[in-house]
Amino acid sequence: MPPLISHNKLIEDDWRPVGDDQIIGDGEKVIISLARLRQQWDALARMHLTLAVELEPTAAVDQLVPFLDHLEMVVLHFDTFTDGRAFSQARLLRGRHLFSGDIRAVGDVLCDQLSFMRRCGFNQFQLAVDQDIDLAFRLFADISRHYQRASLGLVTE
């Protein structure tokens, strides 16, 4: 598995990502798609699950809003490191919808972008496989001064 950083520590991933046609057991800790969440919500809500949703870069954050109180984590996807949509998605989740669970970056997650991600509200980072973990910790705050104020959930320290 690619290394996972959470709250500035390297951690083991105890989440299980499940495909839309995979079976979920009672009380499991799973990452599901937005489509499954919306289609099977009534059933899922009765299963005592610990839930996370993975949102595609094309999906509107608004679709997730009715469910946010029931989610431990939202997973946002970088198809390529140059695709910056997840930065906006994270900011909307944190700043506008006041989501207080974890926001995890997955996909093409590069050390050199961690400080931007962190400032937009991400707090879990599943690094791309070729990324160096020591470098990641070093680059979290390679620039410590910012012009943008704490507006709308932007992390400023």
User: Which residues here bind other proteins, judged by CB under 8 A?
Assistant: 81-85, 87-89, 91, 96, 110, 112-113, 115-117, 119-120, 130, 132, 135, 142-152, 154
Q: Smaller CB distance to other proteins: residue 17 or 107?
A: 107
CA–centroid distance for 91 within its chain: 11
Which single residue is written with the structure tokens 């001064």?
145
How near is the Cβ of 134 to other proteins at its closest, in Å?
11
Q: Smaller CB distance to other proteins: residue 39 or 88?
A: 88
Contact 90, 76 (CB under 8 A): yes
How near is the Cβ of 92 to other proteins at its closest, in Å?
8
C-alpha to C-alpha distance for 150 and 54, rounded to whole angstroms: 26
- HSE, CB side, 13 Å, CA atoms: give it for residue 67: 27
Q: Smaller CB distance to other proteins: residue 15 or 87?
A: 87
Q: Smaller CB distance to other proteins: residue 36 or 119?
A: 119
How near is the Cβ of 18 to other proteins at its closest, in Å?
27
C-alpha to C-alpha distance for 130 and 53, rounded to whole angstroms: 25
How near is the Cβ of 121 to other proteins at its closest, in Å?
9
List of E strands, the chain? 4-6, 9-11, 16-17, 29-33, 50-55, 71-78, 102-107, 124-126
